[in-house]
Amino acid sequence: MSVRAPSDFGRGVGHGVRGARLLLGTPRMWPLVLLPFVLSLLAFAAVFLALFALRDRWMALLPAAGALRTALGVVAYIALLVLGFFAYLPLATLIAAPFNESIAEAVERRLGGAEPSPFSLGRFARDLGRGIVHALRSLARYLVLAAAVFAVSLLPVVGPALALLGGGYLAARFAAYDSLDATLSRWGWSYTRKQELLRRRRALCMGLGAFVAALLAVPVVNALALSVGAAGGASLALEGVPEAERAASTAAAR
């Protein structure tokens, strides 16, 4: 880890806090937050109600009493919490995505970024297609890694602890991507280029991702997390990408 990494991580967290402040302090952006907030709450409730119903069925198959039932019940509870978190995150991303680009654009304008391009039907169709492809690639990668984390959670004794550590890193990593995606997609970046930025500025991006992932773990607050992430991601992109590179990206996307 480089000497800059801890300070970069802290700055990444700071971009998340800045995003939250920008949303709270800009009433014009509140409508972009309200609808995904309500829909995300409904999705969160549906996921965890389904998982706890599954846990009850699992418990009904176990011995009626004893240490084995208690131990397996704890393992099932932790495993389902991990599974629920990873099931909720792609749903929340899907719900927030149509609104996050508008949030990111508004934040970029407020912080002094380039003015948005005039609307073009051709560019809109191109951006939509690219966004769908990138979302599918990210989701496929996420599901493979989430399945691995869930499998680890089933290991005896150390499994739940390892799953929490691995799941936390994975959640932060993908929350960072989702937070930056709205801005970088508007700039016309390829999927590979987005991933390269996350590697090149790993600590900075992971700081933002960890902040958003922490919000995602808090009931009710989690319904606001990706909106906050989009605002924080726009702020981070303006810092993390040199101005000349941003200008070239914007010109190429037009």
**Residue predicted with more confidence, 18 or 160:** 18
Helix axes 67-110, 30-60, angle to 10 degrees: 170
- Predicted pLDDT of residue 119: 44
Write out the two tokens for 55: 């846990």
Q: Is 52 exposed, middle or buried (0-12, 13-18, 19+ CB in 10 A)?
A: middle
Helix-strand-coil split of the chain, %, nearest 5 = 85, 0, 15
The Cα 55–Cα 80 span in angstroms is: 7
- Predicted pLDDT of residue 116: 55
Q: Which of 61-65, 108-112, 211-215, 239-243 has the lowest mean pLDDT?
A: 61-65
- Predicted pLDDT of residue 180: 94
Task: Read off the pLDDT of residues 41-55 as tens digits, 9 standing for 90 and up.
Answer: 888 888 878 877 777
- Predicted pLDDT of residue 210: 95
The structure's pTM equals: 0.75
Question: What is the band of 1 on the pLDDT scale with cuts at 50, 70, 90?
Answer: very low
**Residue predicted with more confidence, 247 or 41:** 41
What is the average pLDDT value for the chain, to the nearest integer?
Answer: 80
Per DSSP, 28 falls in state G
Question: What is the band of 247 on the pLDDT scale with cuts at 50, 70, 90?
Answer: low
pLDDT over 90 for what percent of the chain? Answer: 28
CA-angle at 246, arms to 244 and 249, nearest 5°: 110
Task: Give the HSE-up count for residue 11: Cα atoms under 13 Å, Cβ half-sphere.
Answer: 16
What average pLDDT does range 99-110 have in this prediction? 88
- Predicted pLDDT of residue 254: 47
Euclidean distance between the first and the last CA atom of the chain, given in angstroms as a whole number = 38
- How many distinct helices (H) and strands (E) make up the chain? 9, 0
CA distances from 85 to 94, 100, 170, 233, 238 (A): 15, 21, 11, 21, 30
Residue 187 lies in domain = 5-253
Query: 177 near 202, Cβ under 8 Å?
Result: no
The Cα 163–Cα 253 span in angstroms is: 40
| Per-residue 3-state assignment (H helix, E strand, C coil) for 109-158 | HHCCCCCCCCCCHHHHHHHHHHHHHHHHHHHHHHHHHHHHHHHHHCCCCC
Question: What is the band of 4 on the pLDDT scale with cuts at 50, 70, 90?
Answer: low
Question: What is the band of 170 on the pLDDT scale with cuts at 50, 70, 90?
Answer: confident
CA nearest neighbour of 178 among 128, 231, 219, 217: 231
Tokens 């993390």 locate to 240
Q: Which of 16-20, 24-28, 62-66, 249-253 has the lowest mean pLDDT?
A: 249-253
- Predicted pLDDT of residue 12: 95
What average pLDDT does range 125-130 have in this prediction? 63
- Predicted pLDDT of residue 23: 92
Per DSSP, 63 falls in state -
Q: Residues 144-147: contacts with CB within 8 Å, 24+ apart?
A: 145/170, 146/86, 146/170
What average pLDDT does range 198-216 have in this prediction? 93
